[in-house]
Amino acid sequence: MVFKEIILSVEECHTLVKRYLRSDEFQVLKYEEEPSEDFENYFKIKIKTLNGVQSDLSFIGKKLEKNAEKIFSHEVLYMDCNFIPKYCYGQEDKFIIFEDFTKENFIRPQEMDIEHIKLTLKNLAGLHAKSVEFEMKKSKKQGKSYKIIDENDQFINDPLMESLWFQEGLNNLNLLIDLLPENHLDSNRIKTKIADIFYKFQNRNSGFKQVLCHGSLWNKNILFKYNNNKKPTDCKFINFEYQHYNSPVVDVLQFIYMNTNQESRKKHLHELLEFYYECLKNQLESMDLKPGKIIPKNEDYDVAIHYFLPLIKLQMACLQHNKYSEKSISNSSKRFIKEFETNEYLRKALTESIMELKHLVTHPGITLEDCFKIIKNKIETTDYQLIDYKITPLGKISGYLGDHNKLKIEIIVNNEKRVLNLFAKFIPRGQTAVSIEQDTDAFYKEMFFYQQFIPLIKNYRIELINECATPCYFARYKDVMVFDDLEIQNFISLEPRKPISFEFAKMIIRKLAKFHASSIILEEKLGEVTNTKYSLINDFAKELQESLATEKENHQGGQCMKTGINAVEHMMELFPDPNNNPSVSKEEMRIKIKKAFEVFYEAVKPSKRFRNAICHGDLWISNTLIQCFDGKPTDCRFVDFQMCRYCPPVQDLLTFIYLTTNRRLRKEHFSDLIELYYKELSRNIEDYGYDIKNIYPYKEFMKSIEYTIPQAVCQTTCFFQLCLINPDILKEYMTNEESARNVLVGDRRDFISDMYKRDPLFRERAGECIQDLREMCIKYF
């Protein structure tokens, strides 16, 4: 850089020194400017002063060449932050002056290894936390919510996306897509996806927590300080021209993708993302702020990563030329193609970027980065080669609150080809099912079960849980969860509408006792650690709150249950009393049923009388996968924990018995199954050194059985309205949004009448259920 004129006038030089020394008792003897050899658009200022003694001062200045006022305001917003060079002085239309950071030996890095990246992420978290703190302090001072964009609306748009060289990169990217031989996909589909990404992110209302983002975290915009062993010890950020207001995830992902390749991200991406969040959490906590409320990890941070990944991948594809070439390709497609063909590094980087964009088209739902985490969690190593992966819908109505898919991932590990057979459960896409999921927090509850409850149990070495539930390798809030495909291990789903045999019931109940024992043993261990009568509900009240049997207003889960209750009277008419009991009138029976359902709402709550445990809450045969040998049941796993609740464990036991067996089996073996459960529960608890008599005495257990029977029968009556439906008929209703809404949260009577007419199995089992309801009401109410 050669200056044609002096940038600082004598008066400006005097003002700079006065501000720096905080005194006007000095003389400027000499000052000079020289261009920086290491930093484009920067210059060095050397000033000789006299203040009793002669002193040499030095500063680093940056010349503002265009959009001066806007860039200047970008640069100084963080002037009190330790993560940028200290601001000293500036003129909006000319320059900005910092302390001489080269005197502290801050330099640009020669490489960006994992140490440099982690240090950068740590300080980036500090930078973002400062933005949050600034807003919180100003909100408190003003007495109302404040955001930086309230006074600085220039930060609404991303200047990087609006820059000329980004637009040129976008044009060249579309040109290149047609030429790549690796692209076996219709190029128009990729171009359409690129256009969708570009226009989607013109809208800044993403709903995520936002901060001031740097916006251009190339390694050239980060300066490092090193110790004597050449290890980085600190870093500072410079060049804030592209600063804008967005989710901090945009900065984090942009920095990682700008400074790593795909192989490096395979090994370290999720580790780095976790590291940044932990740093951000620590920074916010040091400011007496609550990160869990400001940027909750599951609901905001992790979801934002998935949301912004397409934007980052598009940015990287458009900016690769800027990273790997010194040549300008402005307005010259021929020069760009020639550069691509001759520059090996550019060609490799751009090809990789385009293939990642292609994956967004060919693999919706599960990204390449998701696979990295899934594979690592599954095989416990990052030393593998990913060949390909495929998502295949099951093609049937398999879950009211989840869309079920097969996920097959092909890898090479230890020089051998291996296929990972997995099961991906996505949030439902239908409007009614989505509204129910949102109100019930079904995905949130299931994520709690797999990501908090099971790890907590394993932390206390309670291995019983491993025999009850399959591992979860990946979960994203309100989106997707990934498990083993148990079908590969010969676990099968029984016909959910047919009652199970005594042998199947015994095997499942043994496993249910292990599941409940895990929860009870955990509470006992935590009680010893905390020296209290510990209850899981105290720490996980939100996660374990009732999501279906609730009387909250405008709650879609509660409305689904009320829809079932409202249909009971219609079922009573469809299935008249075969005994024609004259002692109870229709009106009396209606009153008894009302009282029974009042007990139902109470019985699913945490009990003050009986021992509680974490219960499945939705334990019918479709949520139990069975392994058989020679036609006999040998093992099972429970799935779909999205209705888990905290209540007496007999709630699971009794609803399972009523939902999966017929009246004949219950008449012959009900007591046998109850005794078997208590025996197995006792044995499992005693295996861990606890006495069942002190935890769940038999008399208390039997009293809880009597108390809970009405709840189990009532729940079965409502669940049977959906669980017993012929899947072909159900599909007719659930594929139409209006009829699906009626079935789930509207008026179910016509639907039940249709099932009654068309489905003999429904008539048989629903008829038994209504007879159970009558007998229960007469006995208990």
Q: Is the pLDDT of residue 326 over 70?
A: no
CA distance 695 to 685: 9
Q: How far is CA 109 from CA 98, 112, 262, in A?
A: 20, 7, 21
Q: Is the pTM of this model over 0.75?
A: yes
According to the model, what pLDDT value does residue 1 have?
A: 40
Between these two residues, 72 and 714, which has the higher pLDDT value? 714
Q: Is the pLDDT of residue 663 over 90?
A: yes
CB atoms within 10 A of CB 738: 10
Per-residue buried b or exposed e for 545-566, using 16+ beta carbons within 10 Å of the residue's own CB: bbbbbbeeeebbbbbbbbbbbe
According to the model, what pLDDT value does residue 293 have?
A: 95
Out of 72-76, 183-187, 311-315, the most confident range is 311-315
Tell me the per-residue pLDDT of 426-438, one tens digit each, with 9 for 90 and over: 987 766 677 777 7
Q: Which of 729, 727, 736, 723 is nearest to 769 (CA)?
A: 723
Render 13-49 in DSSP notation, one character per residue. HHHHHHHHHT----EEEEEEEEE-SSSTTEEEEEEEE
**Residue type at 15 in one-letter notation:** T
CA distance 88 to 96: 8
Tell me the per-residue pLDDT of 372-388, one tens digit each, with 9 for 90 and over: 999 999 999 999 999 99
Q: What are the structural domains, with CATH classification, of the chain?
A: 10-104 (3.30.200), 114-362 (3.90.1200), 431-780 (no CATH)
According to the model, what pLDDT value does residue 320 have?
A: 77
Q: How far is CA 707 from CA 478, 651, 703, in A?
A: 35, 10, 6
Q: Is the pLDDT of residue 119 over 60?
A: yes
CA distance 244 to 416: 47
Q: Is the pLDDT of residue 394 over 90?
A: no
Q: What confidence tier does 91 reach under pLDDT thresholds 50, 70, 90?
A: confident
Q: What confidence tier does 2 reach under pLDDT thresholds 50, 70, 90?
A: very low
Q: How far is CA 233 from CA 123, 258, 273, 497, 777, in A?
A: 11, 21, 20, 65, 73
> Which are the contacts of 370, defined by CB distance < 8 A and separation ≥ 6?
306, 474, 476, 480, 482
CA distance 124 to 217: 10
CB atoms within 10 A of CB 393: 13
- Please check whether residue 751 is in contact with residue 722, taking contact to mean a CB–CB distance below 8 angstroms: no
According to the model, what pLDDT value does residue 200 have?
A: 81
According to the model, what pLDDT value does residue 547 have?
A: 85
Dihedrals phi, psi of 629, to nearest 5 degrees: -140, 125
Residues pairing with 637 in the sheet: 625
Q: Which of 234, 231, 278, 233 is nearest to 252 (CA)?
A: 278
- Please check whether residue 361 is in contact with residue 193, taking contact to mean a CB–CB distance below 8 angstroms: yes
Q: Is the pLDDT of residue 730 over 90?
A: no
- Please check whether residue 723 is in contact with residue 620, taking contact to mean a CB–CB distance below 8 angstroms: yes
Q: Which of 582, 465, 451 is nearest to 518 (CA)?
A: 465
Tell me the per-residue pLDDT of 601-649, one tens digit each, with 9 for 90 and over: 988 999 999 999 999 999 999 999 999 998 899 999 999 999 999 999 9
Tell me the per-residue pLDDT of 204-260, one tens digit each, with 9 for 90 and over: 677 899 999 999 999 999 999 999 999 999 999 998 888 888 999 999 999 999 999
Q: Which of 385, 389, 383 is nearest to 367 (CA)?
A: 389
- Please check whether residue 112 is in contact with residue 259, taking contact to mean a CB–CB distance below 8 angstroms: yes
Instruction: Quickly tell me which residue has 């869990």 as its tokens.
Output: 292
**Residue 522 CA neighbour count, 13 Å, CB half:** 26
Tell me the per-residue pLDDT of 650-660, one tens digit each, with 9 for 90 and over: 999 999 999 99
Tell me the per-residue pLDDT of 285-310, one tens digit each, with 9 for 90 and over: 999 999 999 999 999 999 999 999 99
